[in-house]
Amino acid sequence: FMPVHGEHRMLVKHAQMAHSMGIPKENMVIVNNGDMIGLSQESIKIIGKVTSGIELVDQAGIIHENVMKERQQLAEDGVLTVAVALDWDGKLIVQPEVHLRGVVTSVERPLLQQLVSRAIERLIAERWEVYQQKDNGTSYVDWEHLESDLEGALQRLVKRELQSIPLIVILLQHPQGESLESSGPTKTYRRRRPTAILEEVKKA
């Protein structure tokens, strides 16, 4: 016996009714969408699972769960873009540029920009040694690790100060080529200038 219609609680009640009418519990199975049923003369049981459920699709194809979460976050709390330019010593070359889109807040932009700058400077002062790496005598900065930590620090700052959780986009500009202490190429991640990317964000 396998109930096939209704919510889970309805399936359970249906199975209980069947049991009260003489069907042994071991001859019943309650399934969820995607469950695979193995049926023989001796038994019935769940033997596996296949992909099932609702799939959302747009022009580019199936929308995956992480993309849906980002879209939901954008719809509810907006996006905060921070452009950061650093030198080889982890010092800010200019004050970070902060742009808000769809974010409702009473915090003035100059104050928010100041808070962001302080958060970045504090993180770098406390953890700069962690990002400086050596590989076969070559010194380089792990910019990717730094960018990830910056995003986490700004998420905590924004949540505390703005009482919301907007999507945060870090546009990190850093030196390219060789560090001052190295004799070989450094491990860097090439990016376009933050100002150019910000112009694209503004147009969008």
Which pLDDT does position 203 carry in this prediction? Answer: 55
CA distances from 86 to 117, 142, 185, 204 (A): 12, 13, 18, 26
CB 84 within 8 A of CB 92: yes
Which pLDDT does position 195 carry in this prediction? Answer: 46
Which pLDDT does position 201 carry in this prediction? Answer: 47
Which pLDDT does position 197 carry in this prediction? Answer: 45
Q: How far apart are CA 204 and CA 116, in angstroms?
A: 23
Which pLDDT does position 44 carry in this prediction? Answer: 93
Q: Which residues fall within 8 angstroms of residue 170, CB to CB, at 6 or more apart?
A: 82, 84, 147, 150, 151, 154
Low-confidence ranges of the chain (pLDDT < 50): 180-198, 201
The helix (H) or strand (E) run that includes residue 11 is helix 8-20
Residue 104: exposure state from Cβ atoms within 10 A (0-12, 13-18, ≥19): exposed
Which pLDDT does position 202 carry in this prediction? Answer: 52
Q: How far apart are CA 35 and CA 194, in angstroms?
A: 49
CB 77 within 8 A of CB 167: yes
Which pLDDT does position 49 carry in this prediction? Answer: 92
Which pLDDT does position 13 carry in this prediction? Answer: 95
Which pLDDT does position 8 carry in this prediction? Answer: 92
Q: How far apart are CA 82 and CA 112, in angstroms?
A: 11
CA–CA–CA angle 130, 88, 139 (5° rounding): 60
pLDDT digits (tens, 9 = 90+) for 3-26: 988 899 999 999 999 999 999 999
Strands 57-58 and 61-62 turn out to be: antiparallel
